[in-house]
Chains A and B, each alone.
Chain A
């Protein structure tokens, strides 16, 4: 288990070095996208239309999150921000290469399709501590802007810079490994033993 400090944009080589269980601290530009932003990005890509600036940049870090944002002057500050359930974005795994994403940050993990895309395309899934929105916001140093605010505050795409954001846990790596799958397989074995015990009482 190693600890890495990485800068965004991320290179494929850098993320391919990471293994499940490693810890990562990220610095640089991050953007958020949840269900509605993925649907809109898919629609625009399908129609051959341009994406807003910053989306689709090679080496980017995509955060499954929606902040509590507060207006300050002409801009915004992110009061708090933390991960949302990544599994909801599983149907959009195929967008990762199209968007140039090398690191997905979220909570709860993703499924089989994402695992394959991470392996073939060269990217990782990083687990952020769930429910720790004040802690995660303490790494935010500047908000660059917001796209698609018509989708509502949580579903809009927020672009901001982080400094040494972490620790984030490498939970799915580019070899096709997933901590979540490992944990579930072990849990299944424990469950079988428990159920057999109850049945034989």
Chain B
């Protein structure tokens, strides 16, 4: 693997160990997401998916290991606006008095002047992003008056307006209506087709093969990684979700 300067990988995590006090949240985790690739991150609650995201965006300092985004350190990637993080819509305060357009424009704040006054280009980018997620009509609606699925699409639109190159999505399909799920998947596929990179954590194993060419199964460590169809074996999934499997049946298909 070549280092840094000519990034063929969008996201490169190597030997990552994260501890919260005495609890080990991640242990020696390594994974890569190529340019123009969507990678699924599968694991149950508490498997370290959120910790991995927090560490990749620089909110959590690792005890060991490194994270590179497009050949840069995390701090530089953030400063350049290369990373887009799409939280779960449940994480938002839905009573917050902002409308859809306000939220999407927040994706552009790092490009604006010190007062974050939106320029024509920013307004345009917000409009285009909202159009891509199919919410152009709701730009003036307060976020609390949207459905959960619509709110999730607003957060995706914010990352699109940001012009991020690498998108991290935390459980974007949880509790979505059919329309919103289809809209989010379509946008992500188009984003990847345009050369963008995606790391998406999900419980939804049925949609994973269509969306993600590669997948990583996580349970504090990487249990398996590789092309999605090869990784999603019953034995691997059983280990990922903490079920007991007879020792002989537990293959490590596609482990790195």
- A, B in one complex: no
* Chain B residues packing against A (C-beta within 8 Å): none
A: residues with CB less than 8 A from B are none
